[in-house]
C-alpha cells in the first residue's frame, strides 16, 4: 500500500481461499489486459473470459499469457461450456481446454435445460482435468428457483467435485441472486448461508450497491464475481472501508441523523 492507515479490516492474501475477487473480461485487447494486470493483479484472484467471448477474441493465446505471467488464472464463461454441450460436443470442449492449457473451467446451465445428475457428471468428469467452478441460477428472469433448491443444487455440485459454486447474476446483475431492478434477493442469500459455507460461494455482484450489500453482510473477505476491470480498484476500497459506502461500517460508527441545527427555535 502507498501509505499507512490504522484500523483497516484485515484482508486475506493471495493465494486466497476466500476474500476472492473474480473479474470479467468481455473482450480486452492484449494491451488492455496488460494495463489491467498492471493495476489489478494483486486485487484479483481469477479472470473469467465472459460467456463465449473467447470464440471471437483475436490473439487469445497471447492474452491468456498476459494473465498467466501476472499469476492470474483464467477460465472460459459457463455459456461456452453450454454451447458445446447443447451441440453434443463435450469431447471437443475438453480438447479446447487442453489446447489453451486452461487450469479452470465453469460448468453451468444458465441458458439450457440440463438434467442435474447429468450436470454433476460433467462436474465430476471435468474435475479430473481442471479445477471446476460450477454455477447455480438461470439467466432467464422468469425462472425462479426457491431457496431450498439453490441449497440442494449447490451442495450436490460441491459433492460432485466443484471447487466453489457461483451464484448467477449475469454481467448486468439483474437475474438469479437479484431482482430485475438489481435488488438483492436477501432472503435467498441468507437461507443459502445457513447451509453452504460462505467461503465455498462466489457471489456475482457487478453493481456497486450489490458489492456493498455483501460486504456489509459478510465482511471484507466475501468472494465476489463479475467485477468489471475498471471496478476492481473501487471494489478493493469498499472491502477496506475506504469508500463512503462502508467507511463507517468497519469502524463500528453510526452517523448522526442530522449534522445541522433546526432552522428555527423549537418552543
Nearer to a second copy, 110 or 167 (CB): 110
Nearer to a second copy, 6 or 13 (CB): 6
Interface residue with a second copy among 9, 70, 111, 131 (CB under 8 A) is 111
- Report the C-alpha gap between 70 and 68 in whole angstroms: 5
- Report the C-alpha gap between 267 and 264 in whole angstroms: 9
Interface residue with a second copy among 110, 173, 206, 225 (CB under 8 A) is 110
Minimum distance, C-beta of residue 207 to a second copy, in the bound complex (Å): 11
Instruction: Say if residues 8 and 219 touch (Cβ distance below 8 Å).
Output: no
Examine residue 101 and tell whether it contacts a second copy (CB under 8 A): no
- Tell me the sheet residues that pair with 133: 106, 164
Interface residue with a second copy among 29, 103, 129, 186 (CB under 8 A) is 29
Examine residue 199 and tell whether it contacts a second copy (CB under 8 A): no
Interface residue with a second copy among 12, 35, 200, 217 (CB under 8 A) is 35
Minimum distance, C-beta of residue 138 to a second copy, in the bound complex (Å): 7
Strand order in the sheet with 131-136: 74-76, 46-49, 21-25, 224-227, 201-204, 164-167, 131-136, 104-107
Which backbone phi and psi does 266 adopt, to 5 degrees? -90, 125
Examine residue 204 and tell whether it contacts a second copy (CB under 8 A): no
User: For residue 6, is it left (φ>0), alpha (ψ between -120 and 50) or beta?
Assistant: beta
Query: Cell numbers 477460465 correspond to what residue?
Result: 75
**Residues 44 to 63: which contact a second copy by CB under 8 A?**
50-60
Nearer to a second copy, 53 or 221 (CB): 53
Per CB under 8 A, the segment of 122-130, 133-141, 181-189, 219-227 that binds a second copy is 133-141
Counting every residue written for the chain, the total comes to 267
Which backbone phi and psi does 111 adopt, to 5 degrees? -115, -5
| Distance of alpha carbon 209 from the chain centroid | 15
Instruction: Say if residues 192 and 218 touch (Cβ distance below 8 Å).
Output: no
Examine residue 98 and tell whether it contacts a second copy (CB under 8 A): no
Per CB under 8 A, the segment of 65-73, 85-93, 179-187, 196-204 that binds a second copy is 85-93
- Tell me the sheet residues that pair with 164: 133
- Report the C-alpha gap between 64 and 62 in whole angstroms: 6
**Residues 212 to 251: which contact a second copy by CB under 8 A?**
230, 232-234, 236-237, 240, 242-244, 247-248, 251
Examine residue 140 and tell whether it contacts a second copy (CB under 8 A): yes
Amino acid at each position: 500500500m502507498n501509505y499507512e492507515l490504522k484500523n483497516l479490516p484485515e484482508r486475506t492474501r493471495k493465494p486466497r481461499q476466500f476474500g476472492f475477487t473474480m473479474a470479467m473480461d468481455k473482450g480486452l485487447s492484449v494491451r488492455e489486459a496488460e494495463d489491467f494486470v498492471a493495476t489489478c493483479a494483486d486485487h484479483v484472484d481469477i479472470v473469467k473470459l465472459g460467456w463465449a467471448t473467447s470464440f471471437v477474441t483475436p490473439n487469445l493465446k497471447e492474452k491468456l499469457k498476459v494473465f498467466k505471467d501476472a499469476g492470474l488464472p483464467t477460465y472460459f464463461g459457463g455459456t461456452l461450456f453450454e454451447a458445446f454441450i447443447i451441440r453434443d460436443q463435450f469431447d471437443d470442449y475438453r480438447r479446447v481446454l487442453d489446447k489453451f492449457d486452461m487450469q479452470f473451467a465453469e460448468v453451468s446451465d444458465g441458458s439450457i435445460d440440463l438434467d442435474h445428475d447429468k450436470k454433476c457428471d460433467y462436474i465430476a468428469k471435468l474435475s479430473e482435468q481442471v479445477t471446476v467452478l460450477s454455477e447455480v441460477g438461470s439467466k432467464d428472469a422468469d425462472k425462479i428457483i426457491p431457496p431450498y433448491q439453490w441449497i440442494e443444487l449447490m451442495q450436490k455440485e460441491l459433492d460432485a467435485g466443484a471447487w466453489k459454486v457461483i451464484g448467477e447474476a449475469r454481467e448486468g446483475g439483474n437475474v438469479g441472486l437479484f431482482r430485475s431492478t438489481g435488488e438483492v434477493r436477501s432472503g435467498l442469500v441468507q437461507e443459502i448461508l445457513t447451509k453452504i459455507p460462505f467461503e465455498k460461494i462466489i457471489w456475482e455482484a457487478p453493481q456497486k450497491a450489490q458489492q456493498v450489500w455483501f460486504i456489509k453482510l459478510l465482511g471484507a473477505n466475501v468472494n465476489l464475481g463479475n467485477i468489471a476491470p475498471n471496478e476492481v480498484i473501487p471494489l478493493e476500497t469498499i472491502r477496506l472501508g475506504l469508500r463512503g459506502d462502508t467507511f463507517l461500517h468497519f469502524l463500528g460508527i453510526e452517523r448522526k441523523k442530522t449534522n445541522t441545527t433546526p432552522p428555527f427555535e423549537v418552543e
